[in-house]
Amino acid sequence: MPIRYTVKAGDCISSIAYKHGFSPDTIWQHAGNQNLKQKRQDPNVLKPGDVVVIPDKEIKEVSKPTEQRHRFVLRGVPAMLRLQLLDGKHKPRSNLPYRLIVDGKITTGSTDDDGMIVQDIPPDAQKGTLDVKVGSKTEHYELRLGHVNPHDDLSGVQQRLRNLGYPVSGEAGQLDEQTRNALKLFQCRFKLPVTGEADNATLNILKEIHRC
């Protein structure tokens, strides 16, 4: 019998599928999740309280020769982490050495020409750290993986503004004065009507710039 799973902070379709032994596509494309799919659109951006239907597992038979080694790969494992570093003018910060730690695995490298860091990670990873070398200084970032709420939810607006360097007081989903000021700064930067409100035009540009 299908399970109705209630989303918690840090969950996404990849992590939920991994916990239950499915590929992300199997969960996301399941008929029981069509309403959720239409509502959220992005399987990596869910909101705590959303309900995901987990289908029953089905037995799949595969015919293979004996006395040979065969490899079966679970789709969606590992997941892909994509980070982009931007400066104060939203220009890519390219060729910066970094050290990324996720689930104890250390990866080093440099940001590409677009300021991107692309790395395989476990689908259920929720925390990490990133150290970026800038000249003689090191910038340190604490990463909360899978914790971004939908862009049309006010808490998701606050999370994206903070990630893009606009100061907000928190992520409680309340349109306080500091959030209004951050919205005005963002709207001014991208030549939108400066209202301090999370209107549709602002939400669309915020989602585009944040890339989710």
Three-state SS annotation for 18-53: HHHCCCHHHHHCCHHHHHHHHHHCCCCCCCCCCEEE
> What pLDDT does residue 71 have?
66
CATH superfamily ID and name for 3-54: LysM domain (3.10.350.10)
Q: Confidence band (pLDDT; 50, 70, 90) for 11?
A: very high
- For 155-176, write each residue's pLDDT tens digit: 999 999 999 999 898 878 889 9
- Between residues 82 and 77, the one the model is more confident about: 82
pTM of the predicted model as reported, rounded to 2 decimal places: 0.79
> What pLDDT does residue 72 have?
56
- For 117-140, write each residue's pLDDT tens digit: 999 999 999 999 999 999 999 999
Q: Domain 154-210 class?
A: mainly alpha
Q: How many helices (H) and strands (E) does the chain have?
A: 6, 8
Q: Tell me the three state secondary structure of residue 72.
A: coil
> What pLDDT does residue 38 have?
95
Arithmetic mean of pLDDT, 96-103: 97
User: CA of 209: how far to CAs of 25, 143, 189, in Å?
Assistant: 26, 19, 12
Which tokens belong to 173? 């989903």
The fold of the 79-144 domain, in CATH, is: Immunoglobulin-like (2.60.40)
- For 15-54, write each residue's pLDDT tens digit: 999 999 999 999 999 999 999 999 999 999 999 999 999 9
Residue 196 has pLDDT above 60, yes or no: yes
Residue-range domain boundaries for the chain: 3-54, 79-144, 154-210
> What pLDDT does residue 65 have?
74
> What pLDDT does residue 70 have?
60
> What pLDDT does residue 61 have?
67
